[in-house]
Structure 1
Amino acid sequence: MIHTRLRRFVALASGVLLAAGLAFASPASASSLASTQVPTPLVVNARWGGHATFDRIVIDLQGYAPTVTVTPVAQLVYDGSGKPVPLAGKHFLEIRLNPAAAHNDAGESVYHGPKLQRIYLSKLKGLAMTGDYEGYVTFGAAFDTLPYYRAYSLHSPERFVVDIAH
């Protein structure tokens, strides 16, 4: 009987100590997670160039390379307002980076590239920054003919590239 009571007491005490340890450990682990969060990548520039067999769009980044989607769209619109982007063309690509920002924590722009630019290359006819909102930075590219493209990230320094075949 004494052994049964002793076992119950040890089990109860162990449970209380375990629960107390978990309660004290939770806030510490939550604060350590917050301090190790990776900052959102910043979009700082967009540029382009013409080559012998392709045109190239380069989006320069600070931080790591975010997830990027390149999608053919019927029309380019500004994020948020939905207003059409005034770039001439018959075919368009939307380039969306997430997570990403073109502004710092104080809300100041860190993006130094073009906001809306006509371009006179073989395929690429225009480039516009169409959004910087809630973790997404979006660009639109305009073409006269259907673009055949290859998209990829390059590192050191971080940048995202879209090559459009002639």
Structure 2
Amino acid sequence: MLKKIPIKKAYLLAAASILFLVVSYELAFRQTIAAFQLHQELKAQLTQGADLSIQPAYLLRKDHNLNQLLARYRTDTTASRSGNLGTISQLAEKENVRLSEVPQQDPLYGTAQYSLQKLSFEGSFFALTTVLSKLQNSTGIGMIRSVNYKITLLKNSSATEKKLILELYLENTQ
């Protein structure tokens, strides 16, 4: 039947090739090209979304977390020393711990941005550790910068007595 049609084989081959390309495009290449374009769009959105500085929710969370950290450091400078000592001594008294020493503030320990306050507590290990935990969770008294447990021996006329002392450095911003 094809022999009776007066079409050259070269034209028939070209038409068959074009038909094959159209069918191939419809069945395979169109979906692949659409998937590739979608991939490029999503990749561009991902790189744009990776810049966290333009996401307002992230910035709000970060600001809130930083404000919470700063609130733990910040104290009122006019009444900070007496107010903090009152709060700290109340926490210590509840656990049967004695606030044994509050030396004068050494200007060498502080700068214009912060000041360090040394405190000494006496009591049992578990009571001292409980007080330390409560001080860490308290807000408005500053942040604990350093902790040191010491055992001192007191020699009386009849016997020697051991005392456990907790030395604590609190950092406050000014």
Q: TM-score range by the shorter chain?
A: 0.3 to 0.5
Max Rg structure: 2
Structure with the higher fraction of residues in strand conformation:
1
Larger RCO (CA under 8 A, 6+ residues apart): 1
Normalization by structure 1: what TM-score?
0.35
Normalization by structure 2: what TM-score?
0.34
